[in-house]
Amino acid sequence: MRTINILFALAAMLALTSCSAQIKHAQTTTVRIDGDCPMCEKTIEKAAYVKGEAEADWDVDAKTARITFDSTRTTLDAVLQRIAHAGYDSERYLAPDAVYAALPGCCQYERTFKQKPMTTPGAVVDHGGHDHGHDAPATDAPQATGEALAPVFEAYFALKDALVTSDAKKAAAQAAVLSAAVKAVPMEGMEADLHAVWMRVMELLANTSAGIASKPKLEEQRKAFAELTEPMLALVKARPGSAPIYLDHCPMYEGGSDWLSRDKAIRNPFYGAQMMSCGSVKETIAK
Amino acid sequence: MNAFRMIRLVIHLLVLLILLAGRVMAQTAHPALGTSRLQGGFTPQVTRYDLVITDTLVNYTGKERKAYAVNGSIPMPTLTFTEGDTAMIVVRNAMAKEETSLHWHGLILPYPLDGVPYLTTAPIKAGETQVYKFPLVQSGTYWYHSHTGLQEQNGMHGALIIHKREAPAMPEHVVILSEWTDMKPKEVHRRLHAANDWSAIKKHRIRPGTVQSYSDAIGQRALGVKLTNEWKRMNAMDVSDVYYDLLLANGRPVDEAPQLKAGDRVRVRLINGGASSYFWITYAGGKMTVVASDGMDVEPVEVDRFIMGVAETYDIIVTIPADSTAYELLATSEDRVRSTSVWLGSGIRQLAAPLQPLKYFEGMKMMNDMMRMNGDLDDMGMHMSLQQMDMNVVMYPEITGEEKRRGENVKKGGKAGHEGMDHGNMYNSNTLSDIVTLNYAMLRSPAPTALPPGPMKELKFTLTGNMNRYLWAIDNKTVSETDRILIRKGENVRIILYNNSMMRHPMHLHGHFFRVVNGQGDHAPLKNVLDIMPMETDTIEFAATEEGDWFFHCHILYHMMSGMGRVFTNPTDEPNPVLPDPAKAWKHFLREDKAWHGMAMSDFATNGIDGEAMLMNKRWALQAEWRLGYTAMHGQEVEAHFGRYFGKMQWWFPNVGIDWRTREEHDEDREENLFGQRNTKNSRSVAHIGFQYTLPMLLVLDARIDTDGRLRTQLMRHDIPLTPRLRLDLMGNSDYEYMAGLRYVLDKTWALRTHYDSDMGWGVGLTLTY
């Protein structure tokens, strides 16, 4: 009996230690790879691993990886490229932004290798000789005292967009943001007419958005979202911005429902991809 | 000199002056371009290039292969000119035996210089030199390539850039995209005609699921979809026909432009110089602004991505956002198996998000819904055009979500409950996601492009084709099966194209630009290649200003070789100076789609040698089969038949043939066949007449009557893909013969096989495929 146990133990040890095929012509280098947690370690090592060709051992504290590869079959570059495609920056390759953004929250490490862009990506750089140092960022939020409401509008539109893409998780998160933004609006210094509207809609907005945040089901979120339109519309009419806001109407949802949008194109938050363009612009509110 | 003579002299001089001025003006305001482009006030120069074409050996994958180089380089060197100058290109064919040609894609020039051998230009024979001298009446990004055989696939493609006279100073980078396969193009071509899916197996190793076998279907919970697909007589969906070992940018797997700095705006001139691949273009440094297409300016439009059809060119402006960073301009083939990159800038490399593998069974389900039993496509009332709706969007994970895992069914039947709904946005990727994809409706010409007044000749072309026989044509007729289409100066030509095939086709017109009628009114964009997707209807129109013969064809090389095109003839005053015998040249030009292709497969097994061979062209085929036993008891049989394919889908194959077999008397055999006629399996030497027909589930029904008066019907199917490499062959007939075989594909030539034959018994062997 005992010998069998010893044999089993030996076999198990052998199996554990010789799990990877031997890498011939091995070259080993240590490189710094950004990452945050043991889950990152798994992803990095899995991305680097090619049987008999390459493997990596990443240390979560030192944020370095010991990479061993067969120099006749592959290169360090190829291994680092694979790791970057899995979401992890090194000194040679930066992970694609979309892949990084899709990493689980705990894995979204600080991107120390990435340079800050000189200008907003995609914007036309105007070298007309002006001093751009003190330019204020453009905003299409309502002017003057209406600025206090800007975070509320931002959150509403973000919630709407999340429902358009049928992303329940994101919708819940944005709804929480909206609820917090409503509660954070400072009422001192608010002009009288706006104050009156705000007093009327404030509680409804806060409660409904908190309700959406607590509902995991897309269908329930959408139903509650429809109730936000009326109070939001009142705010928009009280403080129209320079950029137009469109009041859209979908005849099919719950016998007919409205929502607000900053884009003229119809993108339906009640049905998402199922009936994306169902709806029409009922009204355009602008200064 | 007296007064009269003086006046006559002055008048002559004036006339001469007017004529000369007319010629100069004609050069600067080319009617084919619709607008006057140049002002006077410069001296045209002659820019000369000397090109020497040679055979060469290349090594992209560790294996040495033959290719074509010009001045020692692949791709061919970039030719740069300035609008208004004269181009003089001296081409010498320094190869030992092969003839060649060069076509200047997108250029407006006298037709004898267009470079289509035997149609407009004489081929450049081995050792010969030809000079191409013509004025440059346009600006933009163009390219040049061989128009002989399959030479374009192996290196004979290069960029041709014509700068504007007053071009704004901006850094530029030219990128010509291409493909490389270690397989000889002739073999690629042959295997396409033999419907050999080795390329799908090779792709499957990189992107599992490409073969769309039964095991793949079961793994995706899409067995019903696969069965429906085969019921409708479709083979696996092929997004790109050919397997390529790598894709190249400027001839390299990875190209660089390290001289670019942060904050730079750069104009990238992209050319799809591939023979059969479409490329998706994405950029890691943000949005791209499209400013030109096929050499013609368009009003700038900002996009996240766009697809380039074979032979299209696009000019984009991108920025380099940050310091010490190189941004990836990524070109991914449409089947997403491979990609190539250009790094703009220098420093740490910022990758672009790779395109995820296609969801093939979603695509198959979509095709099932769109295909009628008779092979026609049904667009369900969607009236698609101008790339606005991409049916393939169901396969793109980045637009319609990740692949379904086990446990989630691929949704069946998309029609229920959608009556009266607007299907339009089910397939419009710009409404389904935040990613902005370019489509032709977004292109607008900065200058008006309306055609001059004149009679309009309207033509309707339906693009047809099928993968099973690799026959691609227009209205089911190849170039050699139709007459030339006559057009005249002063006339305008409108072509309404409808794509009734399952693949998209980049249709190219030589010698002209055409307006793409896309809702931009007088500002319809000008292009010379139009990508038309399955079931789309697009309208293009052009003024017939250029005299000569102009080829209009699909630019997928292998489709062009199969005859997918037409020739427009605009009568010339004088005969073509470079083709002295026009009738002979025309016959030679038509030879290409009449080519014969062969294939053969033979199993060398323990119970005999089984095989088949086929010699076929686009309509006719000669087939032979053999079953050779090693013993007299097993006997030998050989049959051959010759016939023609009929029908749009080519499912009918009436034929005549011979059947010969011999073996020792078998007592235990049945005396009669299914029809109650005496069995002649022991000795048969007959001719027969009959037909084959492809049934649902891709079973082939073979029915025949022989000169002994005996009937035979047979059902068979070869190459059923159980798994990507495991194939099942089945056969049964009214002589009570049957066969079942399992073949495991090792590589493009060899397979392991085991089979049971009712006459020969069990056997194991090796199958050789040519």
Half-sphere exposure of B392 (CA within 13 A, CB side): 19
Nearest CA in chain A to B321: A117
Which pLDDT band holds residue B423 (cuts at 50, 70, 90)? low
Tens digits of residue pLDDT in A6-39: 776 666 666 555 445 688 888 999 999 998 888 8
Top residue of A118, A126, A252 to mutate, by most chain B CBs within 10 Å, is A118
Residue B249, φ and ψ in degrees, nearest 5: -115, 120
**E runs forming strands in chain A:** 26-32, 54-59, 64-70, 93-94, 245-250, 257-261, 280-285
Mean pLDDT of chain A: 81
A97 touches chain B (CB under 8 A): yes
Per-residue pLDDT, A124: 42
| B205 contacts chain A (CB < 8 A) | no
B301 has a chain A CB within 8 A of its CB: no
Q: Determine the pLDDT at residue A145.
A: 47
Residues of A in contact with B323 (CB under 8 A): 115, 118
Does B75 sit behind a cis peptide bond, omega within 30 degrees of 0 on the bond before it? yes
Q: What is the pLDDT of residues B712-753, one digit of tens each?
A: 999 999 989 999 899 999 999 998 889 999 999 999 899 999
B432 touches chain A (CB under 8 A): yes
Task: For the sheet with B140-145, list strands across it.
Answer: B76-82, B157-163, B140-145, B103-105
Amino acid (1-letter code) at residue A64: T
Measured between CB atoms, does A20 come within 8 Å of chain B? no
**Chain B nearest C-alpha distance from A280 (Å):** 14
Could you tell me which residue, B105 or A236, shows the higher pLDDT? B105
Q: How far apart are CA B392 and CA B533, in angstroms?
A: 10
Find the CB nearest A99 among B263, B286, B353: B353
CB atoms within 10 A of CB B382: 17
Cα three-residue angle A138-A140-A143, rounded to 5 degrees: 105
Residue B600 CA to residue B618 CA, distance in Å, equals 17
The pLDDT of residue B410 is 41
Interface predicted TM-score (ipTM): 0.80
Report the pLDDT value the prediction gives residue A92, as an integer from 0 to 100: 93
* Residue B379 pLDDT greater than 90, yes or no: no
Cβ contact B284–A165 (<8 Å): no
**Cβ pair B498, B465 in contact under 8 A:** no
Interface contact A118, partner B, CB < 8 A = yes
Residue A17: the pLDDT is 53
Per-residue pLDDT of B576-590, as tens digits, reads 999 999 999 999 999
What does the radius of gyration of chain B's CA atoms come to, in whole angstroms?
Answer: 29
Q: Does A126 touch chain B (CB under 8 A)?
A: no
Residue A265 carries which side chain, given as an amino acid letter?
Answer: A
Q: For residue B239, what pLDDT band results from cuts at 50, 70 and 90?
A: confident
Across the interface, do A277 and B425 touch by the CB < 8 Å criterion? Answer: yes
Site from B348, B389, B393, B442 to mutate, A interface, most A CB atoms within 10 angstroms: B348
Interface list for B 8-47 with A (CB within 8 A): none
The dihedral of CA A223, A224, A225, A231: what is its sign?
positive
Token readout for B328 is 């990836």
When mean pLDDT is compared over B383-392, B465-474, B728-737, the highest value belongs to B728-737
Element (H, E) at B296: strand B296-303
- Residue B698's alpha-carbon distances to B156, B575, B587, B695, B715, in angstroms, are 39, 51, 37, 5, 10
Determine whether the interchain pair B319/A275 forms a contact, defined as Cβ–Cβ distance below 8 Å. no
pLDDT band (50, 70, 90) for residue B38: low
Q: Which residues of A touch B262 (CB under 8 A)?
A: 118
Which band of pLDDT confidence, cut at 50, 70 and 90, is reported for residue B370?
confident
User: Are B443 and B515 a contacting pair, CB within 8 Å?
Assistant: no
* Residues of A whose CB is below 8 A from B263: 118-119, 125
The nearest CA of chain A is from the CA of B317 a distance in Å of: 10
Contacts of B168 (CB under 8 A, 6+ apart): none
How crowded is the C-beta side of B196, counted as CA atoms within 13 Å? 26
Give the residue-averaged pLDDT of A50-79. Answer: 91
Indicate whether A115 pLDDT > 80. yes
d(CA B599, CA B623): 10
Q: Which amino acid is at A235?
A: L
Nearest residue to B432 via CA among B420, B419, B423:
B423
pLDDT of residue B413: 34
Say whether B348 and A276 touch across the interface (CB within 8 A): no
- Kindly tell me if the per-residue pLDDT of A261 is higher than 70: yes
Determine the pLDDT at residue A16.
53
The neighbouring-strand residues paired with B770 are: none
- Of A91, A93, A278, which has the smallest distance from its Cβ to B351's Cβ? A93
Which residue type does A269 have?
Answer: P
- Are residues A96 and B424, on separate chains, in Cβ contact within 8 Å? no
**The predicted structure's pLDDT at residue A138:** 37
pLDDT at B41 over 80: no
Confidence category of residue B229, pLDDT binned at 50, 70, 90 = confident
**Inter-CA distances, A268 with A213, A226, B76, B184, B390, Å:** 20, 12, 51, 52, 20
Per residue in A84-113, pLDDT (tens digit) is 999 999 999 999 999 999 888 888 888 999
Residue B669 confidence (pLDDT): 60
Chain B residues in contact with A123 (beta carbon < 8 A) = 319
Instruction: Determine contact, residues B377/B383, Cβ cutoff 8 Å.
Output: no
pLDDT of B611-627, one tens digit each? 999 999 889 999 999 98
Return d(Cα B38, Cα B363) in angstroms, integer.
Answer: 49
With contacts defined as CB-CB under 8 Å, which chain B residues touch A115?
322-325, 347-348
Residues of A in contact with B354 (CB under 8 A): 85, 96
b/e string for A239-272 if b means 16 or more Cβ within 10 A?
bbbeebbbbbbbeebeeebbbbbeeeebbbbbbb
- Contact criterion met (CB below 8 Å) for B763 and B755: yes
Q: Does A265 touch chain B (CB under 8 A)?
A: yes
A contacts of B397 (beta carbons < 8 Å): none
- Report pLDDT for B404: 55
pLDDT in tens, B263-303: 999 999 999 999 999 999 999 999 999 999 999 999 999 99
Give the separation between CA A286 and CA B491, rounded to whole angstroms: 50
In angstroms, what separates the C-alpha of A143 from chain B's closest C-alpha?
28
* CA-wise closest residue to A73 among A46, A44, A51: A51
Chain A residues inside the 8 Å CB shell of B431: 265, 267, 276-277
Q: Which of B572, B568, B358 is nearest to B483 (CA)?
A: B568
Which residue in this structure is represented by tokens 């099973």? B468
Which DSSP letter does residue B391 get?
G
Is B285 an 8 Å CB contact of chain A?
Answer: yes
Q: Judge whether residue B11 has pLDDT over 80.
A: no
Verify whether the Cβ–Cβ distance A94 to B351 is below 8 Å.
yes
Please give the DSSP secondary-structure letter assigned to residue B204. Answer: H
Among A33, A50, A85, A94, the strongest candidate for a mutation testing the B interface, having the largest count of B CBs within 10 A, is: A94
Average pLDDT over residues A116-128: 52
Answer whether B625's CB lies under 8 Å from B660's CB: no
The pLDDT of residue B5 is above 60: yes
Whether residues A113 and B348 touch (CB distance < 8 A) is answered with yes
- Better pLDDT: B83 or A7: B83
Ranges A225-234, B387-396, B747-756, most confident: B747-756
C-alpha distance from A122 to closest chain B C-alpha (Å): 5
Eight-state DSSP code of residue B393 = G
pLDDT tens for each residue of B663-722: 876 665 667 777 777 776 677 788 999 999 999 999 999 999 988 888 999 999 998 999
CA B715 to chain centre: 33
Distance CA B759, CA B681 (A): 10
Other beta carbons less than 10 A from residue B205's beta carbon = 11
**pLDDT recorded at residue A141:** 35
User: How far is it, in rounded angstroms, from Cα B668 to Cα B649?
Assistant: 43
| Residue A113 touches partner B, C-beta closer than 8 Å | yes
Contact A42, A56 (CB under 8 A): no
How many residue pairs bridge chain A and chain B with CB atoms within 8 Å of each other? 80
Give the lowest-confidence range in A2-16, A256-270, B103-117, B177-191.
A2-16
Whether B550 has a pLDDT exceeding 50, the answer reads yes
pLDDT computed for residue B143 by the predictor: 97
Chain A residue with Cα closest to B427: A273
Q: Which has more pLDDT, B669 or B461?
A: B461
Q: How confident is the model at residue A188 (pLDDT cuts 50, 70, 90)?
A: confident
Answer whether A84 touches B (CB < 8 Å).
Answer: yes
Tally of CB atoms within 10 A around B627: 23
**Single-letter amino acid code for the residue at B364:** M
Q: In this predicted structure, what is the pLDDT of residue B16?
A: 53
How sure is the predictor about A196, in pLDDT bands with cuts at 50, 70 and 90? Answer: confident
Which of A96, A117, A275 is the closest to B352 by Cβ? Answer: A96
What is the distance between the alpha carbons of residues B703 and B694, in angstroms, rounded to a whole number?
12
CB pair distance less than 8 Å for B321 and A276 = no
Q: In this predicted structure, which of A254-268, B125-139, B449-463 has the lowest mean pLDDT?
A: A254-268
Question: Distance, in angstroms, between B348 CA and closest chain A CA?
Answer: 5
